[in-house]
Amino acid sequence: MRKLLFPAVLVLILAAGCLTVPLGPNEPPTAYIDLVSPANTAPGATVSFTGHGVDPDGNIAAYSWRSSLDGELGTSASFETSSLSQGTHSIWFKVQDEGGTWSKEVLTTVIVVPREAGQPIVSSFNASPGIISPGGSSTLSWDVSGAATVSINQQIGNVSLSGNRVVIPIQTTTYTLTATNAVGSVTATAQVVITEKLPDSVELYSLVAEDGQVRRDGYVGQDPDVGDTKSGATIQAFLSFDISMLPEDAVITSATLDLTNAALFGQPFSKLGMLLVYDCRYQTLKASDFAIGPILGALYTFAVPPSQPITSNLLAKAVQEQLDDGRSRFQLRFQFEKPRFYNNQADYVALGEGRTRLVIEYRQ
C-alpha cells in the first residue's frame, strides 16, 4: 500500500473555495498609534484617533481603543469623538489578528481642560522654511485652542484659531502669535532668517562597494534589495553615501532622497505594506546589522513606489548628526512594515537598479 504524504500546509475545503492555513503557532500582531490630535483640548472639541497594526503572518481583523476615564471609545482604525470627559485620559490601543490573538496595548495621553479653567493652548506655531534667500517666501502655520482671539504681529493682525499665512519678509523677522481669553494671554514665536548667500549643495550617489543587503536567514549580499524572497526570507537594504567633502562646520538646510529609478519585482507594497527608511550606522555589512521588526523613528515612509524625490526635515537632521559625529559616511537602512508574505513569489524593491541619489544643501 502506498503511504500518503502530507504537504507542509493544511488545506481546508470550504464551500467558497480553498483556504490555506500555515501550520505552527500564530504570531501576535503589533499595534501602532499614528495620531491622536489634539492632545490638549477643551470639552466638546473633536479629537481624532488613527492607528494601525502589523501582523507578521496574516492580517488585522479588529481594533480596540479605550480610555481610563470613559472606557471603550472605538473599534475601527480611525475615528473622531467630541464626547471625552474632562480630565487626563490614558488612551490604550490594540489590534487583533485573524487568528483571534490580540496585540499588546500601546499608550498615549489626551488632556481635556475646562474652557473656563485655564489660559489658551498654543499647540504649534511654525515658519517653513525657516531660512530663505532675499525675495523668498515662508509659510507661517499655527494651531490654537481655548482662545477668544488670536493675533500675529508684523502687521498680520487677527487670525483664526488655526491656519497658515505666506509671508515675504525683507529682513530676518521674528513673528509673535498672541492667544487671549478671559483668563489671560499666551505667546509663541517663529523666526524667518534671511540669508544673503544661497545654500551650497552636493549631489551624491550611493557607494556600490558599500551598499548591500542582509537577509533574516543571515545571508549578506551586495545588491541593495528590500522585501522578501520566493521562500519568504526577509530582505533589508543598506545604502552608503560619502559625505567627507562636506565642511565640518556645515549646517544642513535640506536633504533630498531620489529612489525613483529603483526597480520593482512582484508586489512588495501591496503584500508587505509601508517601506520604512531608517538612519543606520554600519561598517562592513554583517548578519547582525539586520533589524528585527519595524521600530519607531523612521526618517520617511513610502506607501507606494516613489514617483518623485522626497525632502524630509528628519533626513536633513540625520545627515547633520552623522556629520557632527565626524563620520565620513551617511548610511540608511530600508525595510518593509511586514517582514514577509507567503505567496511563493519574491516581492522586493531593487534600489541598486537605478543608483540612489542624495542631494544635500548646506550653509556655513
What is the reported pLDDT for 4? Answer: 43
pLDDT of residue 12: 38
Nearest to 306 by CA among 243, 239, 242, 259: 259
pTM reported for the whole predicted model: 0.48
The predicted structure's pLDDT at residue 176: 95
* Domains parsed from the chain with CATH numbers: 30-112 (2.60.40.10), 121-194 (2.60.40.10), 200-363 (2.60.120)
pLDDT at 20: 43
CA distance to 68, 230, 309, 335, per residue, from 276 (Å): 32, 21, 15, 5
Q: How far are the Cα atoms of 26, 27, 51, 144, 238 from residue 97, in angstroms, in the given order?
A: 9, 9, 15, 38, 31
| Confidence at residue 132, expressed as pLDDT on a 0 to 100 scale | 86
pLDDT, residue 354, reads: 64
Q: What is the pLDDT of residue 146?
A: 80
SS (H, E, C) the chain: CCCCCCCCEEEEEECCEEEEEECCCCCCCEEEEEEEECCEECCCCCEEEEEEEECCCCCEEEEEEEECCCEEEECCCEEEECCCCCEEEEEEEEEEECCCCECCCEEEEEEECCCCCCCCEEEEEEEECCEECCCCCEEEEEEEECCCEEEECCCCEEECCEEEEEECCCCCEEEEEEEECCCCEEEEEEEEEECCCCCEEEEEECCCCCCEEEECCCCEECCCEEEECCCCCEEEEEEEEECCCCCCCCEEEEEEEECCCCEEECCHHHHHCCEEEEECCCCCCCHHHCCCCCCCCCCEEECCCCCCCEECHHHHHHHHHHHHCCCCEEEEEEEECCCCCCCCCCEEEEHHHCCCEEEEEEEC
State the virtual CA torsion across 269, 271, 277, 282 in degrees, nearest 10. Answer: -130
Cβ–Cβ under 8 Å, residues 99 and 131: no
Nearest to 245 by CA among 119, 142, 350, 358: 358
pLDDT in tens, the chain (364 residues): 444 444 444 333 333 444 444 456 889 999 999 988 887 777 888 999 999 999 999 999 999 999 999 999 999 999 999 999 988 899 999 999 999 999 999 999 887 877 655 778 888 899 988 888 888 899 999 999 888 789 999 999 999 999 999 999 999 999 999 998 766 788 999 999 887 666 688 999 999 999 999 999 999 999 999 999 999 999 999 999 999 999 988 999 899 999 988 999 999 999 999 999 999 989 889 999 999 877 788 888 888 988 888 888 889 999 999 999 999 999 999 999 998 898 889 999 999 876 789 999 998 7
| Per-residue pLDDT, 286 | 94
CA atoms within 13 A on the CB side of 241: 27
